[in-house]
Structure 1
Amino acid sequence: MSKLSFRGYANILALAALCAGMPVGGHAQSLPLDPAVHTGKLANGFTYYIRKNTEPKHRVVFYLVNKIGSMQEVENQRGLAHMMEHMSFNGTTHYPKNELVEYLQKSGVRFGADLNAYTSFNETVYQLPLPSDDTSILRNGLQIMRDWASEATLDPVEIDKERGVVLEEKRLRNGAGQRFQDIAMPLQVNHSRYADRLPIGLESVLKSFTPATLHAFYQDWYRPDLQALIVVGDIDEAAMEQQVKQLFGTLKNPAKEKVRETYKIPLTGKNQFLAFTDPEIQRVQLEMLIKLPGTELKTKADYHRVLVEAVMNAAFDERFEQIMTQGNPPYLQAGASSNDFMANLHGFSLNVVPKPNQLQAAFTAAWTEVQRMKAYGPTEAELDRARKNMLQQYEMAYKERDKTSSNAYVREYLQYFLKGTAAPGIGAEYELAKEILPQITIAEVHAYAQKVIQNTNRDIYIQAPEKEKASLPSEATVNEWIAAVNNTKLEPWKEAASGDGLLKTLPMAGKVIKRSGPDSIGVFSYTLSNGATVLVKPTDYKNDEIIFTGFSAGGTSLYPDSLFMSASNAAGVIASNGLGDLDPVALSKVLTGKSAQASPFIQERYDGIQGSASPADLETALQLLYLEFTAPRKDTVIFNGMISRSKASLIGRSNNPDAVFSDSASAILGMHHYRRMPVTEARIEQINQDAAYRIYKERFANAGTFTFIFAGNIDTSKLIPLVEQYIGALPGHAATSSWQDLGIHIPEGKLSTTVFKGDDNKANVNLIYSGPYTYNENNNMDLSALGSILQYRITERIREAEGGAYSPRAGVSFNKLPQSRYAFTIQITCAPANVEKLVTATQEEIAKLKANGPSTDDLTKFTAETSRSVELQLRSNGFWMQYISSHLQNGDPMSSILRFNDRLKSVTVDRLKQAANLYFNDANFIRLVHMPEKK
């Protein structure tokens, strides 16, 4: 339910959010709020934002925003802001106990996925997406928001039950990462109040606080002058505004209001250093953080600064990518950027993951690039590419302005209320970008780099495996490394060569020799002269989106185990090399300012390509597709670098308890087949460049075995000539292709394995029921229903009744090919002492399903959630791409979706009872448990 941190977007584009939420700087006039928003403040101080938006249709999103979080807690309340968020779902005036969640699930709202909330340092936010075509649901949804604002019941019995849930949420954080944060956080926030107010709180407080203490926090801080309601969706704005005024105008502030303090992180002018080791850390990592005074994003001048910063960050990205691609740097990863940090601070950060035993060389190489930027700024070419790419992103957002999701608008208004971050609307932002970007100069970016790359207020954090402790450098040593680079005369950045274009000449076009459609789901079919099949699903879901895929049967299943590593990595290897005469850096430059991409894949049973483009750049995307088939590039330098980094990245994997358990589970569930075993250094060495290149060319040799699918804003009169020109030009002839059944599936029988690894007081439990079944539409629906209903049951039992786990998960997967099989999987993270109790509880819930079937309430929830979910999916290009692909590969009728609602309505309690007895087969049951090591 909770997310303990949140970085909201100031607006639709991440580019314009880089400085979101920074404190005050300057007196220029703030940009006006988007006039499409109805906003107001009631007499009690309650604020509202209401906007009509029809994407998605018949849906509305409510957010209740509270300007309170863990920073408002006193010492005996540490963790209660977060606890209060939990308790809002456990009883309100109009929805006692768990009735709120029950009601919403029956209305088609999924708990955790749709219905959610988060608590951070300075805010607590509740989200509720609802259908808007049912007036009673809409009215009740508004009442729920009103209840959350001030009418939580805080039943002591429910409080005691929820303690366990929050403590289990805290347990999820156990591990090396949390141990590092516990030590690093005070340094990161300069020992300010933030260090002592992590939203998850203290275990001692969570176990012992009294209901009166929680009630006092609620009364003090959940008050209308600190609250806002954001409503965006397919609604009548005037009617909604009137209802908001009536419902929320009666909220009252406390007689004696506590002052909401604004807490800041002081800049001390000092440098800090931490070298942290832990047995579970996999590899060495160094982070430098330079803390800077914060800025805001309110005015035109602020937007100018944000775009200058974005240019610098883009140049850093390009440079590190070029080094990684064209050389063999001493690091596995490296990057630098300037961005918002926390509270009133901005920050410049450098992150380096060195190759084994190369920390000094890795840091020196990365810091050299930081100093080079500080010395010279970006090149003219880098500036030009950044301008074009940013304008292209703004243009895409502008073109989608009538198809922008309600959630995107909500995020804007959330930051506007919390921090005053400008939200003028994409039209105004696009105009600002078109005006400002051409004005940005190298000198400006250079000056900005000099401003943010400072020598004070600098933190350096090194994380490393425990065994590396004796070899780690001291602060003085790292300072010597820094000084050595700073005192070196650096040359300006040297750009890699740019390519001239994707294709020097157009290929010989093919022809459409057969066409049909549209069929029952609106798909047009074309057969090309080279045998390729093209299916087209025109939609109006997005204005500036076309997605596509192409596939052919075969994949790695056609190759022996001795070639498996080369075959399974062939597409990744080739894609990383560039295309034709263009290495990856040159290719990236050729694609500057374009929205077009295509990537090959070779899976176990299928080979193919997938990509996307704006309608304006569709020809570019099809040129990429053509080159992926006809001009794979072989680059030994790039290949050797990939292999070197891949091998180095595996060192220390055995230190990571979660990785060890995951590898063990994959091996067991994959029958210990060679192809399901963990990747090791020895296996990576089996990847042969020549073999990978040969296999890739074999898999993409005959386009006549491929089916291509396009979905999106497609004008077929423009698409088909491009298809003929590029797909029709591919070498090929009409033929069939096939894959081989490798016989790998979850093993049958009963199996129980416990993996002991790590020291944390945390256990992971996986329970799997699996087996063969008869694949058909009704059985698939029954399996889906049982998977969802099992999730309801274990949430109610394991989380709510037992308080034994924060987010127990249950679900089902099933497939027709290569064999018709299903698998139910239950995953629980809990205290080691509770494993047996919670496994027993889970099996008791399954036994109830087998004995009695689901309740009518459970079936109602499943039907409502599934129906509403499918409504949204049907308005998604991605859904149709996946649907058409899977039905073609399975040989299922395309019209199946047209009967979906009838199948959904046909599900009954008795039918699911029979299905539960059939599928929850104790004879095919696997139990995998991860426990801490025995002492």
Structure 2
Amino acid sequence: MKINKIYYVFLGALALACSPKMVDKPASNQEQQTSTAEETSMNTMPGMDKKIPMDPDVRMGVLDNGLTYYVKNNGKPEDKVELRLAVNAGSVLEDDDQQGLAHFMEHMNFNGTTNFEKNELVDYLQGIGVKFGADLNAYTSFDETVYILPIPSDDPEKLEKGFTILEDWAHGALLKTDAINDERGVVLEESRNGKGAGDRMNKVTIPVQFYGSKYAERLPIGKDEILKNFEPEVLKRFYNDWYRPDLMAVVAVGDLDPAVLEQKIKDHFSGIEPNKNPRERPEFNLPNHQDTKVAVAQDPEATFASINVSYKDTFESEPTSTVGDYRDDLVNGLFSFMINNRLQELTQKPNPPFIFASSSYGGTVAKNKNAYSSFAGSAPDGQLGALKAVLEENQRVKLYGFGEAELERAKAAYKSSFESFYANRDKTESGRLVGQYVNDYLNGGVTPSPEWRYETTMDLLPGIEVSEVNAKIQKYIHDDNRTIVFTGPTTENKPTEAEILKVVNEVASAEVAPYEDAVVRENLIETLPAAGSITKTETNEKLGTTTYTLSNGITVTTKKTDFKNDEILMSAYSYGGSSLYSDEDYMATVFANGGLTEAGVAGLSQTDMDKYMTGKLVNVRPSIGSTTENLSGSATPQDLETMFQLVHLYFTDLNKDEEAYSSFISKQKSFVGRMMSNPQTYFSNEVNEMRFKGNPRYAGFPDEAAYDAADYNKAYELYKERFANAGDFNFFLVGNVDDQVIMDLSKKYLANLPSTGEKEMYKTFDWKEKQGTREITVNKGTEEKSLVQMRWDYDIATYNAEEDLAVDALGEALTIRIIEVLREQEGGIYGGGARGSMSKIPEPGFNFSISFPCGPDNVEKLIAATQKEIAALKENGPSDIILNKVKEGYLLEYKEDLKSNRYWLNNLVSASREQRDPNNMMNFEAKVAKMTANDIQAVANKYLNDDYILAILMPEVK
């Protein structure tokens, strides 16, 4: 059957959130032999053939012309509806002379339609706060093209315009010759952006991965020679063939009466005439093959080595449509969950065989074909070892299976994640729901209600037996229909097909040892100091926050919200950070700090911690920044005490484990060893080397030698020092908090942390970056690709909040002009923009940057065009139209942000850390309304001075 992609993504997220690893009793050979029969019997249980019901809150229909629609009311975010037009046509349907035109057609729907002349569409949407790229977007894949439009739902005129846009996308493209010719440059720049090591290696690997299929011949970006030279009639032929109502679906999810949305769809789409003689829409497969196909692709600019083993099913899949299908998806997901836990454990060994690895069963590029795939990233010279390790884990399961304890832990993880999903069922954003219905249309699935999914999962999970999960490996792994792909940097000893197949054959006949597990204790904290107390309580009525001062000096600020039913976010800081290190200590530890938490806490290794955390949706992460030491985390209300326990232990009982640290260093060295081969990484490093020359605390980009020189002992010692005084920490918790619970947990786990009674402050340094106009050109890379950056970064006398907003608005205004001029008028870039900000700590500063990729021949012209736009903003300020676009974008975003726990947490923390009035976050709308073009013009003249860097990446001189 076909795995429901949305559901499978949900399972993948679940696997990342929790990672239990335990085996109890290996399956015997006899159990393996009988498992297939047990699996079959399980799927013949009563009710397994019952159809999965579509969510009754979703209105579905098919218009007389064949167009399908889905409508659902959803109140988060308020006053907004997410619209999608899904076209069941992509690059795989292109004729030989149309390669790249499915994607080109997507571009043309933004360049002249029945109701919007060229550029009017983007101009209108920006005027109501919908940002091009961030909000308004589209994508083209092999089998589909999907248009994305979020629109306000509280204004009838804007709503009507939104559906008019969607209707135009469906059948109103003008496809004027001059507009087509103007867009060629933009699409070719997008193609240029994709060129490089990955693209070159794809040309070797894709014919193997997609062996014998049309997919191997129809990458969505197409061929440059066709994009440059096709006649407009060729594009129109694709449009007329495939943009038709019987190959389309409209999806509308948002804060509006479903009857209104349904009527809008009928009004706008019922009149589209169906094709009288429609071209047959074929389905394409991945043909079966008896042998193992191998591809090895290396490139001198590649930075990362990977291996991929894929076992494609020999049979065609079907959509998940029955309860039995759904149950089978659960079994597949549990298998992937458990095998990935074992693979994760291997990454924590002193000399891990790979940096990371994963295995899963799911869909492929073809709609009707599934595969079991194992993937790993390794050091460039470690690919054969990574392949061996991944295959051995598959073989271990094949020989011995998983244990009962492993399955029970996986079930516990699923149960807790589904409980959280169910608790937040009325708090899910429309943007996260709409994709499910797009997927249903394109892939033939069905999305049940949250209630059905939760209740069915809770009912099915207990009955899944370890024997039927173990039986999956027999179905997954076979000698035919197998592909093995190696990609990575150029090495002296490139792996050969014979060497790869030798590893495969050796592992297949090997008698690997059973998986061994150790029992983990039941409690995180075995002994706990006496509880402290709360000495003061303060409230802020305007913000709805409460701040507790604990007996050791810690402050805890809470903000209760109803944005998510099952989410509490935490952040904490104290001043100091690495600024209090000597220059020598800083340089000795800067690359070691990342490995400190790999050791675990309280005598539990990271593997033990993963097991202990099974079924708990909680995480805590300490860190040491340049001016602060920090903790961040999240938990459900049920797991909040575990989060507090982890915080307590990261202060008092961080393990020191040389083997865990060695594993971290090994993985980091594997990852960074070839990073300088990447032209953009090399370019960034060269720019930084120029900027920070002479800075005694500049460590540069790490290489293997830097990791070898990192001092773990000193890093551990300084970590303990930084977290020795908890009394100057400030904690913030936002979400579904219960203040009485927070008070109790704070007294039990925070108020008893050690405190010196001192309040530290960060240090500043005398070294300053050289200023003045500086230019640097870096030649790196073999492709005809360039990158232009302009950067201002310098200290200022004082921080000003109003100027900070104006500087940010300057970035937004300049981005609009860069897209209008460099992309739409010049056709010289695909994307680019500007951004600016001001900082208050550690010292007041100004930062502004402009960046865009382009062709080498256009560098000087596009730099001149950018400088002209900067000069125009300095002389005249932004136009009223652009100012309105910036303001509307701010207001639309702010309206949604106010319903976000993350937004509240970030603002409360930053206001405290920078000693600003937190109440100002509630005045944002007034500040935006007050901001004028003169304000933006003023900061442009004040700060965009000659103290900037012009950095240009050019290809290597041939």
Superposed pair shares fold, TM > 0.5: yes
Q: Distance in 1 between matches of 2:634 and 2:768?
A: 33
SS in 2 for 1:105: helix
Alpha-carbon spacing, 1:486–1:810, altered in 2? closer, same or farther (3 Å): same
Partner of 2:201: 180
Alpha-carbon spacing, 1:294–1:313, altered in 2? closer, same or farther (3 Å): farther
Q: Is 1:600–2:622 an aligned residue pair?
A: yes
Residue identity in the other structure for 2:60: T
Residue identity in the other structure for 1:256: N
Partner of 1:868: 892
Residue identity in the other structure for 2:838: F
Alpha-carbon spacing, 1:29–1:201, altered in 2? closer, same or farther (3 Å): farther
Q: Is 1:904–2:949 an aligned residue pair?
A: no
Alpha-carbon spacing, 1:366–1:744, altered in 2? closer, same or farther (3 Å): farther
Deviations 1:17-70 (A, max 9, x none): 99xxxxxx9994531210011111111111111111011111110011111111
Q: Which moved more, 1:274-283 or 1:568-577?
A: 568-577
Query: In the comparison of the two structures, how many residue pairs are matched?
Result: 921
Q: 1:204 aligns with which of 225, 240, 252?
A: 225
Alignment of 1:291-690 (within 5 A): 291-292=312-313, 293-295=315-317, 296-343=319-366, 344-355=368-379, 357-468=381-492, 471-569=493-591, 571-671=593-693, 673=695, 674-690=697-713
Alignment of 1:91-170 (within 5 A): 91-170=112-191
Partner of 1:219: 240
Q: Distance in 2 between matches of 1:909 and 1:859?
A: 7
Q: Which moved more, 1:562-571 or 1:391-400?
A: 562-571
Alpha-carbon spacing, 1:221–1:710, altered in 2? closer, same or farther (3 Å): same
Conserved 8 A contact 2:344-2:356: no
Conserved 8 A contact 2:307-2:386: no
Deviation at 1:367, TM superposition (A): 1.8
Q: Distance in 1 between matches of 2:146 and 2:934?
A: 41
Alpha-carbon spacing, 1:745–1:534, altered in 2? closer, same or farther (3 Å): farther
Residue identity in the other structure for 2:270: G
Deviations 1:187-218 (A, max 9, x none): 11112111111111111111111222222221
Deviation at 1:431, TM superposition (A): 1.5
Deviations 1:718-766 (A, max 9, x none): 2211111111121115431111113566542111111111111111111
Residue identity in the other structure for 1:835: V
Alpha-carbon spacing, 1:441–1:587, altered in 2? closer, same or farther (3 Å): same
Q: Distance in 2 between matches of 1:363 and 1:244?
A: 51
Structure 2 unmatched ranges of 5 or more? 16-42
Deviation at 1:645, TM superposition (A): 2.7
Alpha-carbon spacing, 1:725–1:244, altered in 2? closer, same or farther (3 Å): same
Q: Which moved more, 1:400-409 or 1:219-228?
A: 219-228
Structure 1 unmatched ranges of 5 or more? 1-5, 19-24
Alignment of 1:851-862 (within 5 A): 851-862=875-886
Alpha-carbon spacing, 1:400–1:220, altered in 2? closer, same or farther (3 Å): same
Alpha-carbon spacing, 1:423–1:565, altered in 2? closer, same or farther (3 Å): farther
Conserved 8 A contact 1:11-1:17: no
Conserved 8 A contact 1:670-1:746: yes
Conserved 8 A contact 1:531-1:733: no
Q: Distance in 2 between matches of 1:868 and 1:767?
A: 29
Q: Which moved more, 1:68-77 or 1:477-486?
A: 477-486
Conserved 8 A contact 2:812-2:834: yes
Q: Is 1:40–2:64 an aligned residue pair?
A: no
Partner of 1:260: 281
Q: Distance in 1 between matches of 2:792 and 2:146?
A: 38
Partner of 1:3: none
Partner of 1:13: 10
Q: Is 1:70–2:91 an aligned residue pair?
A: yes
Alpha-carbon spacing, 1:522–1:74, altered in 2? closer, same or farther (3 Å): same
Alignment of 1:805-824 (within 5 A): 805-824=829-848
Q: Distance in 2 between matches of 1:867 and 1:734?
A: 43
Residue identity in the other structure for 1:186: P
Conserved 8 A contact 1:322-1:585: yes
Q: Distance in 1 between matches of 2:541 and 2:691?
A: 40
Deviations 1:348-369 (A, max 9, x none): 2223444464444443233211
Residue identity in the other structure for 1:61: E
Deviation at 1:433, TM superposition (A): 1.3
Alpha-carbon spacing, 1:911–1:332, altered in 2? closer, same or farther (3 Å): closer
Q: Which moved more, 1:800-809 or 1:276-285?
A: 276-285
Conserved 8 A contact 2:532-2:550: yes
Q: Is 1:831–2:855 an aligned residue pair?
A: yes
Alpha-carbon spacing, 1:852–1:263, altered in 2? closer, same or farther (3 Å): same
Alpha-carbon spacing, 1:104–1:451, altered in 2? closer, same or farther (3 Å): same
SS in 2 for 1:170: helix
SS in 1 for 2:851: strand
SS in 1 for 2:348: helix
Residue identity in the other structure for 1:141: G
Deviation at 1:574, TM superposition (A): 2.5
Q: Which moved more, 1:285-294 or 1:122-131?
A: 285-294
Alpha-carbon spacing, 1:361–1:144, altered in 2? closer, same or farther (3 Å): closer
Conserved 8 A contact 1:565-1:684: no
Q: 2:750 aligns with which of 727, 740, 752?
A: 727
Q: Distance in 2 between matches of 1:438 and 1:742?
A: 60
Alpha-carbon spacing, 1:495–1:656, altered in 2? closer, same or farther (3 Å): same
Alignment of 1:719-868 (within 5 A): 719-743=742-766, 747-773=770-796, 774-868=798-892
Alpha-carbon spacing, 1:335–1:582, altered in 2? closer, same or farther (3 Å): same
Q: Distance in 2 between matches of 1:253 and 1:394?
A: 42
